[in-house]
Amino acid sequence: MPEQPGGTGHRPAPVHTHPDEVALLTALSALADPVRIQLIRELASRPDWSLSCSNFDVAVGRAAKSHHFTVLRGAGLVEQRDQGPKRLNRLRREEFDARFPGLLELALREDDLG
């Protein structure tokens, strides 16, 4: 069952899927997009909960960025929580690594940019 932390009332709380509930093809599909790779690489380089969605400099609009975060949550890669007007993010590295050992490490390697 997807996890849904409490919302702040101004928008629905994000729905999260635990990595244990994610199929391999779902994980691979989430990692196949260059924008999503950029998002998780930036998350991996920063402390948990230190980046809001607006902090990411990606070449897509707000709606597309929201879609990419939805895909990452659905693949069990990202957890989000609302703090005032900001939606903060963390990479679910430990949980994802337990489900798919080594996959995230491969995705985070800079030498594999395509």
- Please state the pTM of the whole predicted model: 0.86
pLDDT tens per residue across span 6-43 = 444 567 889 899 999 999 999 999 999 999 999 999 99
Q: What is the DSSP string of 42-58?
A: HHHTS-TT-EEGGG---
Q: Measured between alpha carbons, how far is 5 from 12 in angstroms, rounded to an integer?
A: 10
- The structure tokens listed for 69 are 């975060």
Question: Per residue in 14-48, is it b (16+ CB within 10 Å) or e — as a string?
Answer: bebbebeebeeebbeebbeeeebbbbbebbeeeee
- The structure tokens listed for 4 are 């849904």
Can you tell me whether residue 59 is helix, strand or coil?
coil
pLDDT tens per residue across span 74-109 = 999 999 999 999 999 999 999 999 999 999 999 999
pLDDT tens per residue across span 47-83 = 999 999 999 999 999 999 999 999 999 999 999 999 9
